[in-house]
Structure 1
Amino acid sequence: MIKVSDYIAQRLKQKYNINNIFLISGGGSMHLNDSFGRAIPYTTAHNEQALAFMAEGYARINQELAVVNITTGPGGLNCLNGVFGQWTDSVPVLYISGQVKLETTVYSCPHLNLRQLGDQETNIIKIVQPLTKYAALVDDPLLIGYHLDQAIYYATTGRKGPVWLDIPLNIQSAMIDENLLKPFIPPQNNNYNFKIDDILVQLQKAEKPLIIAGHGIHLSRQESSFLQLLNKMKIPVVTTFNGMGLLPDNHPNFAGRIGTLGQRAGNFTLQNADLILCLGTRNNIRQVSYNYENYAKNAYKIVVDIDSAELEKPTIIPDLKIQADLSQFLSLIAEKTPIIERPKWLAFCKNLQDKYHPSINPEYQHSNNQINPYGFTMEMLGLLDKDAIIVSANATASLTLFQAANFHSEQRVLCNSGNASMGYGLPAAIGACLSGKGRQIICLEGDGSIMMNIQELQTIKHYDLPIKIFIINNNGYISIKQTQNNFFKGNMTGVSEKSGVGIPEFNKIGEAFNIFSIRISDPQNLKSQLTDFLNIKGPALCEIITNDDYIFTPKLLAKKLEDGTMISPSLEDMFPFLDKKEWESNIFNKIKI
């Protein structure tokens, strides 16, 4: 006989090779806490939202399932922000929550429509069902193996994502005979039609083919197959927001990054293409823009996606739809593809990159003794290890990376794209550090974002994690400030100190947590100061004071026509707008190669 909570811990360790649990203890999960604590190393945090973000960072780098253990009521509710981000970005995380005794749950008397029955009880399964691939309250001890194996199967099979098991106290503590457990029998795998021959016919016909590469290549662990494919296809490749860093900037096929806040060269390449092959990208709205009818407007669209729903959505209409798992598809197409070369087209796209290289963009340079965040990001990245892991918050932190970074081949970038929550960077960096196997860990945070989970500085200090934390202090919420400037003629609400959002001196906060901390505000000698900082042993915090009046550039910006009508331009027409002559020089068919 074995206790249910002990069975869970042993099965996670022995069958699924789980060697770290992200855990915040609670009365409702006391048996689970005890069993995990005895069997598996665990990491704690000071807020369950942060715990969920930690698990995501761990799963993304480890490319395996992460496990979170929390208690009933507010313990589970605090995780929801992280769960949703894992739902949108396809990250496999198993949540195991404690619950009050089964007889005091609203689940036990559904006919009454109660809001709450047990102490601190939340009917968490009803809440998380729309955000998870599988969610169940375990109401019978003999079903624990069935539910546990099924949850992990769905988390890690097909389009990956979060799953949730809610386990009442009297189920956690129940004794079971393992021989009597109901087994889970996985369904038969899909027999995908890869349509490789159809793809190759279209690729060989195309004069200007383009590959759009996304996060799904990482999720399917097919980085090597992807590179093998590019050895045969001498055609341009652009990467997505969640796929940044997937291909190093110096790769002969790399042609930029795309989207509403992408790179000008990448967007021109996209809009010039006469065929696109989408691999591991769901073509979200940030990528296709609100003028999605004109996304890759001249191209035959081949979309490969594991999720059939993504092939039917109205914001992109594929000419050739292929539902397939990249873990099978990429190795097969890499094997079957003949050499496909388009030297003039590839050279044209590489010339666009040189023409609009971030290093020569005047908007990215330091000025007036103030640090420009783009300039800082470029200088900082140039000093990192070739296999560094960069974990980014959103807004300035992620956009300066996406638009201006020069990545190396073994570097990884983590940023949640679908949910894009403030408070993500610091805890996700902790998770990445725990699975990074000694690699350099960089956390790039914003002054607004880090305040959402700043308590996790204590977690970094407690575990002595050698994370280098950069906080971009631009005096508030710069992206919202830009929006309010554009739409409300400069009337500011809740974006800066003057409008209600105070920003502390982060170097002093770091010192309060006994973390080595500095503040840099002058661009003079920035490189040497950053070099010294990166050489500090153990955790360290660097507050970067930047100018607070910059704008994200280039970007898609609505245009006003002569009659006053506002229109959304297509992706190649980014602000600052180009004159007609320069714009036409970036159209492949209008120039001589």
Structure 2
Amino acid sequence: MNVAQYVANFLVDKGVAHVFGYQGGAILKLVDEFVATGKIEFIQNYHEQGSAFCADAYSRVTGNLGVALATSGPGATNLMTGIVNANLDSIPTLFITGQDYKANITKKNGARQNGFQDLDIVSIAKPVTKYSSLVVDPKTIRYELEKAYYCATQGRPGAVLLDIPIDIQFAEIDPKALKGFTPTEAFGNSGIDVSRVIQLMQEAARPLILVGGGVRLSGAEEAFYQFAKQSNIPVISTLNGLDVFEGGYGFAGLYGNTAANLAAQNADLLIVLGARLGQRQVGKVPERYTMARIIHVDIDSAELKRVFPDELIINVHLETFITEMLSALSKENLPDYSLWHETISSWKEKYHVNALLNDVGLDPVRVVEKMMPLTSTNAIFVNDVGQNQMWVSQAFQVKKGQRLLNSVGLGSMGFSLPAAIGAKFAKPEHLVLSFTGDGGLQINVQELMLIGMRQLGIKIVVFNNNTLGMIREVQIRYYNANYHGANPFEFGCVDLKMLAQTYGLGYRRIGALEDVDSLRDVFSDDLPYIIEVPIALDSKLTNRYDEADCFEAERIHG
């Protein structure tokens, strides 16, 4: 057996059915062996960044390892944005790069390059991955694959990279003689003081659960659902946790739902589950986010006490924590939090209007709200980055079984289109909607070729204001409306109807709110569409700093 065959069989054993990539000379052998298994389909993208985002989303939707492949040199460097994106959002992904011949890359002669597309991608990737390694000895392939898989999937998940030279891929090995990897690291071992947590819950008048993306990454969604129902504690979320729980009060943070932020401000106990409490969540001055006592549960000890030094920390696997809490709650009584629920519900109704800021033309939040009832319970929503991401998230009311995918840590424009492709290959029978702005669409617009060629039934909703809307907002707030790079004569959008026709996609235009109803048939078929939503050049997006008066007015004292 050769090394490339061994890699292919390893991925098959791990249940990987699709590998995304862009063909190149240094990976021809790997791709050949992957396809030869009869169990792995190679998906040819049109840019390696697209491949990386596909693998990221594929992992988010399947819960399994996402894999992307690229050739040496520029192919490898083109993966980097997607690698960083997956690692920052804790997505278990394996990136494999082809490399020049071993003899060229191991020469120690001081030359900047000895071969063609000879590049030390491992040194570039190490700071932004959980594990990166160059495979120069064929006999280490089992060890390297097992270690990479372990690092990608255990503890806080993330991205890993293996760089395999061309001649190493062809090298013959005896699988029975290969040494494996034995993990020694222990994750989440601080123990759980369940009685203390129960005591704090019983003493609280206004407890709140903040659910983050870690709940889904740990496979604890169902256990969490039972925990939220059994405790009857109100639930808000981070952006990455927004699709975890049906019945929550939206997402908190800089561009979050007003009611969710008011709940965080006025809570007296905040139970944080699998959330890192980033700056876009708590702001630059965390003390203004909440005055609550905080219980922070996370598998990653580096995230604990990072923002709030006085929090009660529990460094364990979330599913373990929630399971123990469910057992304890079955023997304990908690206060009735009905009035607290009513207060948050009243804020939700009273301040919903805060998100509806467009008084010229279509309001994007209203458009998404009107789309939501037309979507199936297994629909997958994929956001891009910018105003469009926040409009969709503000309008999103999850039905159990739906997913909402976001690029959060890196905030990478261009994520939505290729991520929607990854989601569609992961769940071909599901409705997949890609929400993007005209800016994000054009960053990875080349992936429309893949959608059109394969007629992947992805619905691409484009909020088109012919500019970089969030940049213009910052420029008007802080740069005296100096719209460099975001002026109509500097930035524009292609004719989307012609673009759809060029790539073999259907096209719809939403000119008025009542036109949204016409999408019912579009959402029920399995054909690709571009759905253009033209909006005003300076469409608005609410943020927490604009709502200071309302936060002060609703502050609960005592």
The more displaced of 73-82 and 254-263 is 254-263
1:411 aligns with 2:410: no
- Amino acid of the structure 2 residue aligned with 1:202: L
- Amino acid of the structure 2 residue aligned with 1:319: E
Counterparts of 1:52 and 1:238, CA distance in 2: 30
The equivalent position to 1:328 in structure 2, one of 317, 320, 325, is: 320
1:66 maps to 66
TM-score, L = length of structure 2 = 0.95
Q: How much does 1:537 deviate?
A: 4.0
Pairing 1:392-431 to 2, within 5 Å after superposition: 392-431=383-422
1:588 aligns with 2:556: yes
Secondary structure in structure 2 of the residue aligned to 1:517: strand
1:84 aligns with 2:84: yes
- Amino acid of the structure 2 residue aligned with 1:288: V
Secondary structure in structure 1 of the residue aligned to 2:84: helix
Ranges of 4+ aligned residues in structure 1 off by more than 4 Å: 365-368
Counterparts of 1:47 and 1:91, CA distance in 2: 20
- Amino acid of the structure 1 residue aligned with 2:228: L
1:533 aligns with 2:522: yes
1:24 maps to 22
Secondary structure in structure 2 of the residue aligned to 1:448: helix
1:290 aligns with 2:278: no
1:311 maps to 304
- Amino acid of the structure 1 residue aligned with 2:120: N
1:470 maps to 461
Q: How much does 1:532 deviate?
A: 4.1
2:93 maps to 93
CA contact (8 A) 2:22 2:69 kept: yes
Q: How much does 1:220 deviate?
A: 0.9
Secondary structure in structure 1 of the residue aligned to 2:509: strand
Counterparts of 1:170 and 1:405, CA distance in 2: 50
TM-score, L = length of structure 1 = 0.90
Q: How much does 1:588 deviate?
A: 3.5
The equivalent position to 1:515 in structure 2, one of 502, 505, 508, is: 505
Counterparts of 2:513 and 2:222, CA distance in 1: 41
CA contact (8 A) 1:311 1:318 kept: no
Cα displacement string for residues 299-332 of structure 1 (whole angstroms, at most 9, x for unaligned residues): 111111111111142x332421111111322222
- Amino acid of the structure 2 residue aligned with 1:153: Y
Q: 1:304 to 1:577 in 2, by over 3 A?
A: closer
1:269 aligns with 2:263: yes
Counterparts of 2:34 and 2:397, CA distance in 1: 42
Counterparts of 2:165 and 2:274, CA distance in 1: 38
Counterparts of 2:427 and 2:118, CA distance in 1: 37
- Amino acid of the structure 2 residue aligned with 1:118: G
Secondary structure in structure 1 of the residue aligned to 2:436: strand
Pairing 1:227-376 to 2, within 5 Å after superposition: 227-248=225-246, 251=247, 254-296=248-290, 298-313=291-306, 315-337=307-329, 338-340=332-334, 341-357=336-352, 361=353, 364=356, 367-368=359-360, 370-376=361-367
1:504 aligns with 2:494: yes
Q: How much does 1:365 deviate?
A: 7.0
Secondary structure in structure 2 of the residue aligned to 1:21: strand
Counterparts of 1:524 and 1:201, CA distance in 2: 50
Counterparts of 1:186 and 1:302, CA distance in 2: 30
CA contact (8 A) 1:92 1:156 kept: yes
Q: How much does 1:427 deviate?
A: 0.2
2:544 maps to 556
The more displaced of 58-67 and 181-190 is 181-190
Aligned residues with identical type, % of pairs: 32
Cα displacement string for residues 357-397 of structure 1 (whole angstroms, at most 9, x for unaligned residues): 3xxx17627755x2121121111222111221101101122
Q: 1:219 to 1:256 in 2, by over 3 A?
A: same
Q: How much does 1:245 deviate?
A: 2.2
CA contact (8 A) 2:31 2:42 kept: no
Cα displacement string for residues 97-152 of structure 1 (whole angstroms, at most 9, x for unaligned residues): 111111100xx135x44422221111000000011111110111110000001100
Counterparts of 2:81 and 2:195, CA distance in 1: 42
CA contact (8 A) 1:475 1:496 kept: no
- Amino acid of the structure 1 residue aligned with 2:535: T
Counterparts of 2:84 and 2:465, CA distance in 1: 28
Counterparts of 1:124 and 1:515, CA distance in 2: 37
Measured on the aligned residues, the alpha-carbon RMSD in Å equals 1.8
Counterparts of 2:354 and 2:255, CA distance in 1: 17
Secondary structure in structure 1 of the residue aligned to 2:132: strand
Q: How much does 1:170 deviate?
A: 1.3
1:578 aligns with 2:546: no
1:119 aligns with 2:119: no
Secondary structure in structure 2 of the residue aligned to 1:327: helix
Q: Which runs of 5+ in 2 are unaligned?
A: none
- Amino acid of the structure 2 residue aligned with 1:305: D
- Amino acid of the structure 1 residue aligned with 2:234: P
Q: How much does 1:535 deviate?
A: 4.0
1:547 maps to 536
Counterparts of 1:493 and 1:25, CA distance in 2: 37
